[in-house]
Structure 1
Amino acid sequence: MEPMEHRTSWTFVTNHARILAMVLEDPETRLRDMAVTCRITERAAQAIVANLESAGYLTRVRHGRRNHYEVTSGAPFRHPAEGYQPITDFLRLLVDLNRRAEGAGRPPVDGDHHERDSRG
Structure 2
Amino acid sequence: MGQWTFLTNHAHVLIYVSRDPGARVREIADAVGITERTAHGILTDLVDDGYLRRIKEGRRNRYECVENLPLRHPVESDHRIGELLRALGGLTPSS
Q: TM-score, normalised by structure 1?
A: 0.69
- What residue is the counterpart of 1:53 in the other structure? 47
Where structure 2 has 5 or more consecutive residues not aligned to the other structure, the ranges are 91-95
**Which structure 1 residue ranges, 5 or more long, are not aligned?**
97-120
Aligned residue in 2 for 1:105: none
Aligned structure 1 segments of 4 or more residues deviating by more than 6 angstroms: none
Partner of 2:81: 87
Distance (Å, rounded) in 1 between the aligned partners of 2:71 and 2:85: 11
Structure 2 counterpart of 1:75, from 57, 65, 69 = 69
RMSD: 1.3
**Larger relative contact order, structure 1 or 2 (CA cutoff 8 Å, min sep 6):** 1
Q: How many residue pairs get matched?
A: 90
- Report % sequence identity: 44
Q: TM-score, normalised by structure 2?
A: 0.86
Counterparts of 2:67 and 2:6 in 1: how far apart (Å)? 23
